[in-house]
Structure 1
Amino acid sequence: MKLRNGILGLAIGLLMGGVSYSAFADDASTFVYADAGEPSTIDPAKANVNWEFTVTRNIYDRLVDFDLSDPSKLLPALATEWKQDGKVWTFKLRDGVTFHDGTAFDANDVKATLDRLLKIGQGQSYLVDDIASVTVVDPKTVKIETKAPTVFLASNLSRIEMLSDEDIAKHKDDLGQAWFNENANGTGPYEFVSWTRGTQIELKRNDKWWGKFPEKPFDRVLDRFVTDGANRARGLEGGEFDLANFVPLDEALRIGTSSGFHLVEGNNLWAWPAIYLNMDLAPTNNKDFREALVKAFDYNAMVQSFQGKAEVGRGPVPSWFPGSPEKEEAEIKTDLDGAKAALAKSGLANAKMKCSVPAGFPEFRFAATVLQSSAQQLGVTVEIEEQPFVEAITAIKSDKSNCFVLGNANLSPSDATKFFAAHYLKGGFYNSGKFFDQTLQDLVAKLPTISDPTERGKLLKQAADIVVDSHYIIWTARPKTVVPEPDRIGGYRIDPAEYINARFWEMYSK
């Protein structure tokens, strides 16, 4: 038994409890963050969107971290060293780490966390679903055996937050889901204080954290739920918020170049958006017809919509990702003559198709309209239907739609196979158009077993080529992530292997 030292959006107004937002933002010890939504859960085993990760990433720690400027370089966190021997990985844990309730962190917490994550099977569990067993060797040593050798386990563990085994045991009836959905007890830089539904989550700095804060860190964080992008931009510019997520690009560029602000730019998104074409439903079940759509698409219109802060991808894996074959791939560009030739070969002149677009994403809607106008030049009619996300993805999966628009990002700093599994392999949740290629299945299974980076790179190129040559995806654009930051704030960095949010422990008041 471990010893304890303690105990553990929708509409938003300009005032709360009689104190204005700007009063909080003017307090140098309090950081006010305008997030684009309210979490449905703060359980690390289930968190899966930006505004959930905003909370979990800052409350909990992970075994391994990585260098944001070089994602292939892993860094110690709760584990100080690790090694691989075939299917077995051994991790040595950091001494002197405690949870926010005073409980000591040890190997039992690692085992309980991973066992629970894999049983629940949601959120980021796909990153470590190749784990076969977790064994506690001693309080500071844990062994993890995988189903097959994988060089990516440590890298993927950089995304898995560690929980207290005592919390899990105390709330074991439902694997702790009800409790962890709205409570938190981590080892990380910030502690959970409260959740005011529809308004904010409050955090406070953990002054006993094992890590290092910058000078003038923020003692208090208010994570505000501001669903309207214009309100986030207005609040940031007016000083009500210290930082805001998903500020509309035109506003981000205007604010970031105005007095008192600067722009932070970085790589993050793999495609925004990508258009998935239904491989089972006519007319998109015809490869030549899909090729016609890919070649007819107006990529320049998409890049211009991002005001030049974007490029056209040459395939699924961006050039800045470790081991990417992007530079070896052929350029993808508009080729109307080639599109007309492909359409003629398909024999599907004057075809009609439907495209499902998740509501609430202007870029998704714009990409669909670009597809519509591009296809019209071929005599092809595209009907656009905006729906809530679940309904939109269900429409293509149930063969009621020919295409689906989705954003692409990868949570692993160096493992592309998990992204491929989710988007291009049989059974993958985002493989909405039901793409299948046995050679690709085999390549994705083989890649993690190869220790030589050069050989892995060759296999990754083969995998990327299969997806490109299938014409399953239209990668409409790969934009830069652009975030306006007030000059009074420092430390914000864009994580290349993350859905966009903020690492509060790195930020400081100037």
Structure 2
Amino acid sequence: MSSLSRTSGIRRPRLHSLWLAAALAAAGLAGASHADARTVRWARSVDAQTLDPMSANIGPTTAVAHQIYEPLVHRGYDGKLVPTLAVEWRNLAEDPTVWEVKLRQGVKFHDGSAFTADDVVFSFDRARSPTSDFRGLITSIESVTKVDAHTVRIKTKAPNPLLFENLTNIFMMSKAWAEANNAVQPQNIRERQENGATRNAMGTGAYQLVSREPDVRTVMRRFEGYWGRSQFPLEVSELILVPIQQDATRIAALLSGEVDAVHDVPVQDIARLQQSPGVKVNTGPENRVIFLGFNVGSAELKSSDIRGRNPFADRRVRAAINGAVNRDAITRVVMRGQGVPIGYVGTNFISGYSPEIAAVPRVDVAGANKALDEAGYPRRPDAGNTRFSVTLQCTNNRYVADENICQALVGMLGQIGIKANLVAKPAAQHFPELQREELDFFLVGWGIPTYDAEYVLTFMFHTRTASNGTWNGTRYSNPALDARMIALQTMPDVARRNAEIADLQRILKDETIYVPLHVQSISHAMRGGLQVPVHPDAQAWFKYFRFGTS
């Protein structure tokens, strides 16, 4: 087996009353019995956008997918790859562009059918199709072919030592089920279309779908035919996901015992929960950066009062905003210490991380005002002494203190004469608008499940194409840099690759296409003795979890 040895030279991780009653009644939980202590009611601020495991590359959606579906490998709580539906993988000595993969035998889908190489070939083809939001992870793949019932070969366009680092969210589906249920192609979530996998599922995971009510609840039950019954605790027999957007309602539900775990604890409630009898809080850093993005490509901004030109197309304007943001104040006051300020879109979990590039810019309001004057955006007495106005679009239920962060940013931007009109929306509305390039100025967060800087470059900075730049809502395009980003996928020389990543990151940091804010921490709260550790990717695999005594 050569699961990690191929990348040994690459840096790895270092590791109220009426309101509550109404919300719980809508979720079908009011008065729920706790006779079955193995049932876990899992509350999150946001629901999965879909059950289709390939249509939305968003954390809450993949978190649900990981309960029902499985990839060939997943990343354990120590950050290392764990064999899942693959048990062995190696480069062929005679051709380093070919990986031979041995599949786990005896695996069953939830309908009792056998998992085979045919399903793997189908799943990779599906993941590479135009409506898949994960195709950017596997653009280096040329073909996937069946050798026998439990062996496949993955051929890449050039040697790719990082291939398996990119497969942790490529889920395996039943070819027969997809063909029988109008799910051969991934759901086109940008266009609000649905298919047979949007509200239904058929995986090999530890939990099988019982029912799905979007934004209300999703019920999953332990799959008794699961291949890993002897390898994982599987102490949770029934899992009920309950989306509760309002922070106060979510925490009240935990304290009252109506839910057993809260995935995303609001920062203002951490200290109180730590003092609450029977409640445990686990906190840890997340492999995710929160940042601002600009529309740098349009001739003018739809949401601005400046006509005929686009302020954000001028790097001086973007740099001024970068210098006016007080990251320390945001993490210290707004987030109450649940974050670390950063100056680049990358974390110290990933290969390619550089403390020099991640250094936080000095707050310089005077310099920012001067830069805006030089860029030709003076203060206008007839417009309240502002330079220009623009809409700042934020989520209000996705990231730690997201709406509060944006409220603080409004004040900071006001100091340099930019009037930011805040619009905060649920993630289910915000992200499709971002992907359709409808936003001028926005907050977004980016997790890095491959633990490699190339993931950030090709998803967030690459020119928007069918396969790359799929989350680049800025309209930024630099074909010369695009080619260098793609070349990283098949660059086996580690020293040369790290040098290339560092150079690309320096160029892009100077461009200031994004304004990085911080690496956020995340807190889980639980009761009833349930033990829920924090994963750097903010994922949760309930098959691992146990019940303790507190």
Offset at residue 214 of structure 1 (A): 4.8
Residue equivalent to 1:92? 102
Contact 2:183/2:197 (8 A) holds in 1? no
Asked if the contact 2:221–2:239 (Cα under 8 Å) also holds between the matched residues in 1, the reply is yes
Q: CA deviation at 1:264?
A: 1.4
CA contact (8 A) 1:298 1:370 kept: no
- After superposition, the Cα gap between the structure-2 partners of 1:375 and 1:56, relative to the gap in structure 1 and judged at 3 Å, is closer
Aligned to 1:220: 238
Between 230-239 and 277-286, report the one with greater CA deviation: 277-286
Q: What does residue 20 of structure 1 align with?
A: 31
1:34–1:244 CA contact under 8 A, matched in 2:
yes
The one-letter code of the counterpart of 2:457 is: F
Give, in angstroms, the shift of residue 495 of structure 1.
Answer: 2.8
Partners of 2:297 and 2:213 in 1: CA distance:
45
TM-aligned CA distance change 1:221 to 1:381, over 3 Å:
closer
Q: How many residues align?
A: 493
Q: What SS does structure 2 have at the residue aligned with 1:426?
A: coil
* CA shift digits 1:456-510 (9 cap, x unpaired): 22222222212210122111222211222336111x233323xx44211111222
CA contact (8 A) 1:317 1:464 kept: no
Structure 2 vs 1, CA of residues 260 and 455 (structure 1 numbering), >3 Å: closer, same or farther? farther
Unpaired stretches in structure 2, ≥5 consecutive residues: 1-20, 188-194, 301-309, 380-386
Name the residue aligned to 2:536: 496
Correspondences of 1:50-61 after superposition (within 5 Å): 50-61=59-70
Partner of residue 416, structure 1: 453
Which residue of the other structure, out of 346, 350, 361, is the alignment partner of 1:317? 346
Q: Which residue of 2 aligns with 1:68?
A: 77
1:229–1:273 distance in 2 versus 1, CA, 3 Å: farther
**Aligned ranges 1:286-301 → 2 under 5 Å:** 286-301=314-329
1:249 matches 2:286: no
Distance in 1 (alpha carbons) for counterparts of 2:411 and 2:334: 15
Query: Contact 1:218–1:507 (CA<8 Å) still a contact in 2?
Result: yes
Map residues 147-226 of structure 1 onto 2, 5 A cutoff. 147-171=157-181, 175=185, 178-196=195-213, 199-211=216-228, 212=230, 214-215=232-233, 217-226=235-244
Decide which of 438, 443, 452 is 1:405's aligned counterpart: 443
Aligned-pair CA distance for 1:417: 2.1
Q: Using a 3 Å threshold, how does the CA distance of structure 1 residues 367 and 278 change in structure 2: closer, same or farther?
A: farther
Question: Any idea what the Cα deviations from partners look like across 1:306-358, whole Å, max 9, x if unmatched?
Answer: 10121111211111223312355433231234324433442432221303313
Does the 8 Å contact 2:294/2:442 carry over to 1? yes
Deviation string 1:411-442 (CA, Å, 9 cap, x unpaired) is x3333323322211111233222222344313
Cα-to-partner distance string for 1:234-278 (whole Å, 9 max, x where unaligned): 111222111123332212342134332232122325223434353
Q: Distance in 1 between matches of 2:183 and 2:463?
A: 33
Structure 1: give runs of 5+ residues left out of the alignment: 1-9
Q: TM-score when scaled to structure 1?
A: 0.87
SS of the aligned residue for 2:153 comes to strand
Do the aligned residues in 1 keep the contact of 2:342 with 2:359 (CA within 8 Å)? no
Structure 1 residues 95 and 224, CA, compared in 2 at 3 Å: closer, same or farther?
same
Q: In structure 1, what residue type is equivalent to 2:317?
A: F
Counterpart of 1:298, as a letter, is N
Q: How far, CA to CA, are the matches of 2:293 and 2:415 in structure 1?
A: 18
- Identity among equivalent positions (%) equals 24
Distance 1:279 1:217, change over 3 A: same
TM-fit CA distance, 1:138:
1.0
In structure 1, the residue matched to 2:367 is: 338
Counterpart for residue 258 of structure 1: 276
C-alpha RMSD of the superposition:
3.1
Distance change >3 Å, CA 40–CA 401, structure 1 → 2: closer
Shift of 1:224: 2.1
The one-character-per-residue Cα deviations of 1:274-320 (angstroms, maximum 9, x if unpaired) are 34353544222211222111111122221121101211112111112
User: Aligned residue for 1:129?
Assistant: 139
The verdict on how the C-alpha distance between 1:329 and 1:218 changes in structure 2, with shifts beyond 3 A counting, is closer
Match of 2:38 in 1: 29
Aligned residue number for residue 377 of structure 2: 348
What secondary structure is seen at the aligned counterpart in 2 of 1:65?
Answer: strand
The partner residue of 1:142 within 152, 160, 174 is 152
Aligned residue type for 1:417:
E
* Contact residue 277 and residue 473 of structure 1 kept, 8 A: no
TM-score relative to the length of structure 2 = 0.81
Shift of 1:92: 1.0
Q: Structure 1 pair 59/165, CA: closer, same or farther in 2 (3 Å)?
A: same
Given that 1:271 and 1:479 are in contact with CA atoms closer than 8 Å, whether structure 2 keeps it comes out as yes
Query: In structure 1, the residue corresponding to 2:523 is in which secondary structure?
Result: strand
